[in-house]
Structure 1
Amino acid sequence: MTTVRLLLVTTEQECLRCFDVMRELRPHLDAPQTFVSRIMGQMAMGYRLLAAWEANRVVGLAGYRLTENLLYGRFVYVDDLVVSAAGRRHGLGARLIAAVREEARTLACRHLVLDTGLGMALAQRFYFRQGLLSRGMHFVEALSVEEMAS
């Protein structure tokens, strides 16, 4: 793997270049322009998308946001973390987590938080190796037919 740069996505064109990699994590995404629109809307609410670029192609992503609640205080929540199938096994996931962790520290956050599926044993093992510990379960109720399908 050649040199990989980590850069925040700021434009619609950069966001569009992220679609194929994000789709590896979120296969229900089927329209690139809808993806771009949703990401840009989330960015307007504080979401940040960190892209790992190898030359001119995206090989990994970390989507996260600064938030605060009574449980964790001020914290960064990682919504999306994915490395392309071709880019795995090169430490890129660890680099993305480390970059988000450092950003959280810079923002005076008390915690870094993420969720993963119960059946995602490899992801869970990776998170444990990165120093993240399982502290609970995440419960969800679909409130619309559209959400039940995803």
Structure 2
Amino acid sequence: MILLNWRLYDKDIPMSTFRLRLLDSDQDYQAGFSVMRELRPHLTDAATFAAQARRQGEQGYRLLAAWQGSEVKGLAGYRLQENLIYGRFLYVDDLVVTAEARRHGVGGQLIEAAREEARRQGCAHFVLDTGLGNALGQRFYFRQGLLAKGMHFCQPLEVRA
């Protein structure tokens, strides 16, 4: 399946030189692993990545890929959520485009497809986080119409057995 005009269809139809399609098989996850690793270098192997993506999928996580031929050039991982701040919203966990595919509109296509999915699902907001040191990413998000609304705080915890 791919996302075309932000509706799912069963055949691949080009969007410029890229086509957007949700990853849904071990083979797909294998194809997307090296791209995701550019964003998440702590990921160690494709099998572990696929297993985690499937577990997250049980919680509503979807991984949309921008394909060029048989190669993944970009990924957007997202999920629907609801809280008291935003109401129902779509949260982008992961957004990455390979270095060679940047400046070809891939990131914009992925953002717009996720944004349209949010609208289709009746979401009030479209939300993502980025690192404070990611100036290029922040500039890209501003150009995509997103606004900085706060800071995201995190504290690692020891896992108790």
Q: TM-score range by the shorter chain?
A: over 0.9
Moved more, 28-37 or 73-82: 28-37
1:95 to 96, 105, 109: 109
Across the aligned residues of Structure 1 and Structure 2, the Cα RMSD in angstroms comes to 1.0
Is residue 2:57 matched to residue 1:49?
no
What is the distance in 2 between the residues matched to 1:117 and 1:23?
16
Counterpart among 76, 82, 86 of residue 68 in structure 1: 82
Structure with the bigger RCO (C-alpha within 8 Å, sep 6+) is 1
Q: Matches of residues 1-150 of structure 1 in structure 2 within 5 Å?
A: 3-144=17-158
Query: Which deviates further from its counterpart, 119-128 or 2-11?
Result: 2-11
Structure 1 residue identity aligned to 2:17: T
Residues 8-17 or 128-137, more deviating: 8-17
Stretches of structure 1 that go unaligned for 5 or more consecutive residues are 146-150
Number of aligned positions between the proteins: 144
Distance 1:26 1:66 in 2: 21
Q: Give 5+ residue unaligned stretches, structure 2.
A: 1-15
CA drift at 1:86: 1.2
Amino acid at match of 2:151: M
Question: What amino acid maps onto 1:24 in structure 2?
Answer: E
Moved over 4 A (4+): none
TM-score, L = length of structure 1: 0.93
Q: Secondary structure at the match of 1:42?
A: helix
More helix by share: 1
* DSSP-derived class of the 2:150 partner: coil
Q: Is the 2:29–2:46 contact (alpha carbons within 8 Å) kept by the matching residues of 1?
A: no
Identity %, equivalent residues: 62
Deviation, 1:144, is 2.5
**TM-score normalized with structure 2 length:** 0.87
